[in-house]
Amino acid sequence: MSNETPLAKKRRARKIFRVLGEVFPYAHAELDYTNAFELLVATVLSAQTTDIRVNAVTPALFERFPDAYAMAQASEVEVQELIRSTGFYKNKARALLGLSQALIEDHDGEVPGTLDELVKLPGVGRKTAFVVLGNVFGVPGITTDTHVIRLSNRFGWTDSTNPNVVERDIAALFEPKDYTEVSNRVIFLGRRVCHAKRPACGACPVAKWCPSAGIGEINPQAAKELLAYELAPGREHIHQALVNGATRAELRADGYIWEI
């Protein structure tokens, strides 16, 4: 695909997007939240850790501090203890208190719905802002997290690891209305199939259109053993349930531990 024309590259990218939509029609932000404030806080906490770890600490955090007004009154030490396991907890606690105070002072305690306003909040960059905008406010944006950067390079969508350049290069390939879904679907593939160290190429649904296919395990059976979450061996019924519209809450009620 080294001699690929810009038009062919765009068509291939959109084919990957469509196929991922068939495999992961339920792709979404995997942080647990019920409102914009919770997603904003959870996304700040997700830096340098996993959504699984964040989801483990946010129930207690949000029970204690359910909104910006409560969080702004918190002691930094108390917040640190609640989020310690997410790593970099001192900086994150400082950011959470700062953004909560800024929300009160500048937005009456509400999370703003524009990129310009969000990135002015302490601890909030473009990646965090686009997660909130796309998943709460319906404003499409490309989330250049570690999975999106890794996979967009493997797909040949970009040759950069600079988040701003990656965002620009991906944006050129898709309709703006699809930016959030592109991010969610690529992140889902990165967590389940296209791993950083040992991608499961032989079990990848988009290997046919990937110029990096073959850098990982190519044997289909061996590759299948590398799949994670609901794609892991023996969980085919879980994947099908999600495709059919089941929610994580429903699956948890049935005894499925989503995070394993």
Q: Count Cβ neighbours within 10 Å for each residue of 174-204 and write b for 16 or more, e otherwise.
A: beeebbbbbbbbbbbbbbbbbbeeebbbbbb
The domain limits of the chain are: 6-26+144-253, 36-132
How is domain 36-132 classified at the architecture level of CATH? Orthogonal Bundle (1.10)
**Quick one: CA dihedral 57, 63, 65, 67, positive or negative?**
positive
How far apart are the C-alpha atoms of 116 and 170, rounded to whole Å?
21
**Which structure tokens are listed for 63?**
């029970």
Q: Domain 6-26+144-253 is in which class?
A: mainly alpha
Residue 171 phi/psi, 5° resolution? -60, -30
State the Cα–Cα distance between residues 219 and 226, nearest whole angstrom. 11
Respond yes or no: is residue 145 known to be catalytic.
yes
Cβ-count burial 224-245 (b if 16+ within 10 Å, e if not): eebbebbbbeebeebbebbeee
pLDDT, tens only, 111-154: 999 999 999 999 999 999 999 999 999 999 999 999 999 999 99
Q: Which phi-psi region, left, alpha or beta, contains residue 79 (left: φ > 0; alpha: ψ -120 to 50)?
A: alpha
Q: What is the pTM of this model?
A: 0.93
Residue from 238, 141, 21 nearest 128 by CA: 141
- Distance of alpha carbon 85 from alpha carbon 80, whole angstroms: 9
Same fold, 6-26+144-253 and 36-132: no
- Residue 251, pLDDT > 90, answer no
Task: Give kind and range of the element (H or E) at residue 67.
Answer: none
Consult the annotation and say whether 194 binds a ligand.
yes
Is 201 annotated for ligand binding? yes
| The two three-digit tokens of residue 205, written as one number | 């649904």
Cα end-to-end span (Å), the chain = 36
Check 32, 51, 92, 127 and give the catalytic one.
127
Catalytic member of 32, 51, 92, 145: 145
Separation of CA 85 from chain center: 19
Q: Round to whole Å and give the CA distance between 253 and 227.
A: 23
The band of 260, judged by pLDDT with boundaries at 50, 70 and 90, is very low
Instruction: With a cut of 80, say whether residue 257 has pLDDT above it.
Output: no
Render pLDDT for 80-109 as a digit per residue (tens, 0 to 9).
999 999 999 999 999 999 999 999 999 999
Q: 2: buried, middle or exposed (CB in 10 Å: 19+, 13-18, 0-12)?
A: exposed
Which tens digits make up the pLDDT trace of 16-69?
A: 999 999 999 999 999 999 999 999 999 999 999 999 999 999 999 999 999 999
Q: Is 116 among the catalytic positions?
A: no
